[in-house]
Amino acid sequence: MAASPSYSPAWTVVLISLNYVVTILWPLLALISFLFIAPSATLLSMLLVGGAWMLYISRDGAEYRTGRPDKLFSQTHWVFMRMREYLSVSLHRTPEVQSKLLKANPTGQAIFAFFPHGVNSDFRVLMDGLMYDAFPDTYAKAPGRTLAASVLFKLPGVRQLSLATACVDAGRKTATKCLRDGLSLLLCPGGQDEQLETIYGRERVFLRKRAGFMRLAIIHQVPVVPAFCFGSSDLYYTSRFAHPLRNWLVRNLRVALPLYSGGPGLFMYPTPMGFPLPKAQSIVFGDPITFPHAAEPTSKEVSQAHEAFIAALTNLFDTHKAAYGCAGRTLEVL
């Protein structure tokens, strides 16, 4: 008989929706109300607070160094713990992958490349606290840092959450610094393009034009680990409405506006049907891929490594898709 869950799924939806109201919606509504009641004073206050915030983040700069991870927060925060159970987040093949990483490098340093991004990349923040125990030897010597969009570090609250869950700026300079300092990297190469191309019920990865992480692997002689999150594409029902316009915004302004709906509840955006569907998130890690070192890799070397990675990711998907409810699906590499 299966063990009873620690948390009621219904209460998880209620409590996290209430948390959203208290921490995001209520302050926003209060601010809008004050704009009507005392517009001049409110605008002045916003300018002063905004200026102080920009000064703080410009002087802090943790995201451009090696971040400020908080292991305890990432592992034990009540929202993470409830959502991990609600979505049945699980990591697979970690012992054998770690063993192979340690054979390739005494520290187990690696570049972990995760697919697909999905609408909100929900698995990413929930997975962070699990990586410490899933890859204990690697994280003891070469702990991971997740590359994240620069805009996330400009937003109050989102900045603290990103830093606590081991995120750093996604720029090449920061990625290079982390690798030189002996840290591992975690990234979703598809990024905003893949986010926008997510279609419920299909497995799509935006990878054909994403070879930058392969170049980093060759230069720093670090193994690359492909990883696939089964279930990520099925957390929300997606819409293709105004897709050409939204695609233009991503390509030209790097602004992604996904249109989707889920179950009743509040989660990422202020929509009453924005809670992720209770679909298991099963993250399967593939074997590490190594490449010959080159201080200045040629386009051909990068292209060959990139094609080898695409083949490995496709093989990983095909090998495990039946076990995780995707037997009838084909991996679409865009």
Question: Residue 102: which pLDDT band, with cuts at 50, 70 and 90?
Answer: very high
In a domain, 93, yes or no: yes
- Within 10 angstroms of residue 44's Cβ, the number of other Cβ atoms is 11
Task: Please write the tens of the pLDDT for every residue from 10-28.
Answer: 999 999 999 999 888 888 8
In a domain, 170, yes or no: yes
- The type of residue at 254 is R
The answer to whether the CB of 198 falls within 8 A of the CB of 205 is no
The answer to whether the CB of 273 falls within 8 A of the CB of 263 is yes
In a domain, 308, yes or no: yes
Distances (CA, A) of 131 to 79, 139, 279, 312: 17, 8, 20, 22
Label each residue of the chain as H, E or C: CCCCCCCCHHHHHHHHHHHHHHHHHHHHHHHHHHHHHCHHHHHHHHHHHHHHHHHHHHHHCHHHCCCCCCHHHHHHCHHHHHHHHHCCCEEECHHHHHHHHHHHCCCCCCEEEEECCCCCCHHHHHHHHHHHHHCHHHHHHCCEEEEECHHHHHCCCHHHHHHHCCEEECCHHHHHHHHHCCCEEEECCCHHHHHHCCCCCCEEECCCCCCHHHHHHHHHCCCEEEEEEECHHHCCEECCCCHHHHHHHHHHHCCCCCCEECECECCCCCCCECECCCCCCEEEECCCECCCCCCCCCHHHHHHHHHHHHHHHHHHHHHHCHHHCCCCCCEEEC
- How many whole angstroms separate alpha carbon 315 and alpha carbon 286? 9
- The type of residue at 33 is S
- How many whole angstroms separate alpha carbon 242 and alpha carbon 245? 5
Question: Residue 197: which pLDDT band, with cuts at 50, 70 and 90?
Answer: very high
- Is 4's pLDDT higher than 80? no
In a domain, 17, yes or no: yes
- How many whole angstroms separate alpha carbon 118 and alpha carbon 195? 5
Most distant CA pair in the chain, distance: 65
Task: Please write the tens of the pLDDT for every residue from 259-302.
Answer: 999 999 999 888 889 999 999 999 999 999 999 999 999 999 99
pTM for the predicted model, two decimal places? 0.94
In a domain, 3, yes or no: no
Q: What is the mean pLDDT of residues 246-255?
A: 88
Q: What is the mean pLDDT of residues 19-41?
A: 87
- Is 2's pLDDT higher than 60? no
In a domain, 4, yes or no: no
The answer to whether the CB of 201 falls within 8 A of the CB of 238 is no
The candidate with the shortest Cα–Cα distance to 214, out of 150, 100, 93, 303, is 303
- How many whole angstroms separate alpha carbon 29 and alpha carbon 191? 31
- Within 10 angstroms of residue 272's Cβ, the number of other Cβ atoms is 10
Task: Please write the tens of the pLDDT for every residue from 44-53.
Answer: 988 999 999 9
Return mean pLDDT, the chain: 94
- How many whole angstroms separate alpha carbon 46 and alpha carbon 48? 5
**Residue 292 domain boundaries:** 9-333
Report the number of distinct structural domains present in the chain: 1
pLDDT score of 1: 36
Task: Please write the tens of the pLDDT for every residue from 212-250.
Answer: 999 999 999 999 999 999 999 999 999 999 999 999 998
Euclidean distance between the first and final Cα of the chain, in Å? 42
CATH code assigned at 108? 3.40.1130
- Residue 225 β-bridge partners: 112
In a domain, 1, yes or no: no
In a domain, 2, yes or no: no
